[in-house]
Structure 1
Amino acid sequence: MQENTFNQRILDWHTLYGRKSLPWQIDKSLYKTWISEIMLQQTQVITVIPYFKKFMRAFPNITYLANAPLDEVLHHWTGLGYYARARNLHKTAIDIRDNYQGAFPTEFDNVIALSGIGRSTAGAILSLTLGQNHAILDGNVKRVLTRHQSIEGWTGEKKVENRLWTLAEKLLPRQKADVFNQAMMDMGAMVCTRSKPKCNECPVSVDCTGLHSGAPTDFPTPKAKKKIPVRQAVMLIVCTADATKIQLIQRPASGIWGGLWCFPEFESIELCLDFLKEKGIKQFDKNELNMFRHTFSHFHFDITPLLIRVTSCTSLQSMEDPDGLWYNLNQPQKIGLASATKKILATVNNTLEKDK
């Protein structure tokens, strides 16, 4: 493969077909690129766009983001998943506010030292915004390179990843690094897609060894599958007698749904009822809602929501929790909700409406 012809074909393709009007590409800034790159990790562009626009309205610059309560940041992230990204954004904004006078750093070593920013993300931020000569290696780029060169092995394996980094740096043109990096990401997203690559539209198909092998989708090599374990839990939904408020608790900062608001979790309905008994809650209506499955990257979570509508208001005083709040169904607070919590709230609202 001749690197210069590969580069030029990719650049020529981008001139004709590349994405040039995404929200973070307009009035480009380090801040916008940083936010978009974090949001785009594990998430498709079409999903990110409305979240990005809303996030920018709420936090127009780094200082706004740093000064905002974490709960407000998580609220604007609700539904995007992988919430550690939002917690790292907030932490990094505070770091930049306090140590860089609120201006995003422009030196690679300073950027990669920030929370939640790795080698590829740092390269993307600096190359896409400032045109600095840094290679990138996100999922889209990995797919293009592994197919074009028939590189076998799971891309998360260090040996394979190092080989890809060497290739990415070798292919990076001395000029137009920003255009080339954007073009490679667009290629992976628009042409060299996971399951149905449009090889007839690819500018580098003529020397793509994956295509000529007859099985381009064999690359990249998938990670060896393991049986995903299943966890089960009952979520306790305690509702006031007038059906206007529901108790939520804030989860610890680390772990699944870190810092988000959820329902108390128990191993069984019996343990839920024992908990209510301990709290002196004796007068209530009980409704076991349909179980549903929430899937994380490393396990399935089967959740059974148990709706408890307390009929005696005085007994609710015993339910006060320093890590909890009474969530107003009519005037919801702006807090970070786990996606499973949002799903349960929708089901509870429908159930309560039918009971009126």
Structure 2
Amino acid sequence: MNPGIIYLVGTSGHPNFGDEFIAAAWLKYLAVARPDADVWLDSPQPGMAQVLFEGLHPRLRVTNTLWRLVHENADLPADEAAKNIRERVTGLGTPAYDLGLLKMREAESLHLIGGGYVNETWPHHAGLVVGMRAVGEMTGAKLFATGQGLMPVLSPAPGETPLFRGFTYARARDEASAAAHGLEMGLDDAFLGIEEELSRTEAAPGLYVCIQSDMADPGRLESAVELARAEIERAARQGIAAYYVEAIPGFDRAAYERLADLIPEERFVPFVHVWNHGLPLSDQQTWVTSRFHLHLLAAAAGARGIAVGMKKGYYDVKHESVTALGSGWPLALDEGSPAMPAQAGPLAAKLPALLARKRAEAETLYPAEPGVPAQPASSAAKLFNLARSGVSRRGRG
């Protein structure tokens, strides 16, 4: 086992803003704490992931070894898939996998980074955990899982239970996931990157909208668009400009096309702009969004908003985890149209403590190499104080 190899497993490369943001946050942290370590990211889309994360860590390598193995067994019953994955990882036997699997055996740790992708929506993704555990049992590598959203709960059992048996460290990001799998509560992995995102972005005051067309219950897109339309028209009557933010290319465009008569193309903020320049964030905003991480980051910046649930049992759990932290955003479900809150919730005020908690987790899992300077003190408190004093970030939209 090579003490320099860190192996991350995540659903990166779609691109999907939330998943990419989480992977980038870990890579940026490791670039400071462990700059001399070889970091391997196992991703379902390694080509796009390589482009997205270029330069974020000096020794980053990207592969799809474990994801390819999981997808190859996706249509099999859980027990049979788990057996095949375990046998392939431990027994080798084909040049299609052996070099990648041998590289996994060199890792000091394997880390399932955060997101909501190991659950009944994609039950075959439990194979990621099976494969990681097989490596850990062979080599003694530490197994980590952070910021996990595990609802709707896997049923039947994923072939090996409990799900995170043998893991050195495992945390869920919401109470339902923690209870279902007997885990301790943690925070979404996006908290590791929020401070930098707040410091690098600017936004014009206004109403910001993002409504997805993917993974929606029947008829939900239409009602969500109507809710957004009502808020845009209300903002226009008040002289407030509306913007549209794209979190997943294509899937977020469908709703924009239905709202383009109210939001001109020049106020459409594409994913590429968001990725290159930062998510437009300000405490002078309001939001209507179905995207979980836009809810999280905008509320952390002090914005008011309405969260839109698109799929019951999945997205409502995600959004409720942010409201539980104090976003102050009502959750719109079914045909409901809650009013825009008059005041921001307490999440922004709680942010320094939450960032410190997430930083402590990262430092526990990946202590800095000897001689690496300590991370700078958090500036989140300074950012919050600026917001309270009325100094807002303005500019790009």
Give the TM-score range, shorter chain: under 0.3
The alignment's TM-score, normalised by the length of structure 1, stands at: 0.25
Larger RCO (CA under 8 A, 6+ residues apart)? 1
TM-score, scaled relative to structure 2: 0.23
Higher helix share: 1
